[in-house]
Amino acid sequence: MPLLPMAILSRQASSTASGGPTDWVSMIEQRGGADRFTVDPESGLVVPGSDGLPEMTLQCCLSESTEPTNTCLIDVGSGLHTEELLRQVYSGVSQSDLSSWGGALPLHPHGAQFAAKRRFPRTLLSALRAIIGQPRLCLLYQQAPMSEAASPDSAPHSAASLRAYRVTCSRPVGLRILQVRRAPDRVQIVVQPTVVITPTAWVPQPGEATDIPANPYVYKIFLTQ
């Protein structure tokens, strides 16, 4: 499954200060993001230009900082080990990675919890640059209520949680990485939405009763004779 071991903030709990981290719903689904890049259909390279798709900048932590971020690494069978995270960025999540979920990752309407960490290993940046322009799946996470933010086990903004905490992921989205920009203590990753077509996607079968709404980013290929 072409799923990145990352999660993106779905929606801010309150309004964002100018220049602060943004969220997927505001920037992408409500089209609040800029439109500065496009993917050349022939070369597959990212070039300056408008393509009608809004963009979002992910703020990633590289050091022991408590500044707000809007993305994190999540444990989808990797144990959050750097070598396994690198493999999942390049190749996606394998069926063995999903063994704890019975080999599939259906997200119920209230979301599912994952172990997570804010700090991105610096060696992960080259892997993210290597997949620029390629369609990938990524999960959205819900911002923890302020009452939970005091707990090191659940708060992405506390110093103790730079190592590990938990996030609730609600749904997958499709994206392309357009740019990876390095700063002294953080990295900015520019992404845009896209459709991901994969035979490994979990989607409700025709006629199957489910509370999970249709996902506009993910489609599954069925092979027929």
Overall domain count for the chain: 1
The pLDDT assigned to 198 comes to: 74
The pLDDT assigned to 217 comes to: 63
225 within a domain of the structure (yes/no): no
The pLDDT assigned to 159 comes to: 43
The pLDDT assigned to 185 comes to: 81
Its domain, for residue 10, covers: 3-219
Average of per-residue pLDDT across 79-98: 95
224 within a domain of the structure (yes/no): no
Please give the mean pLDDT across all residues of the chain.
Answer: 81
Residue 99 CA to residue 54 CA, distance in Å, equals 35
Other CB atoms closer than 10 Å to residue 15's CB: what's the count? 7
**pLDDT tens digits, residue range 8-49?**
999 987 655 555 679 999 999 999 999 999 999 889 899 999
The answer on pLDDT for 146 being more than 70 is no
More confident call, 109 vs 130: 130
146 within a domain of the structure (yes/no): yes
The answer on pLDDT for 153 being more than 70 is no
211 within a domain of the structure (yes/no): yes
The pLDDT assigned to 49 comes to: 95
51 within a domain of the structure (yes/no): yes
205 within a domain of the structure (yes/no): yes
19 within a domain of the structure (yes/no): yes
Classify 52 as helix, strand or coil: coil
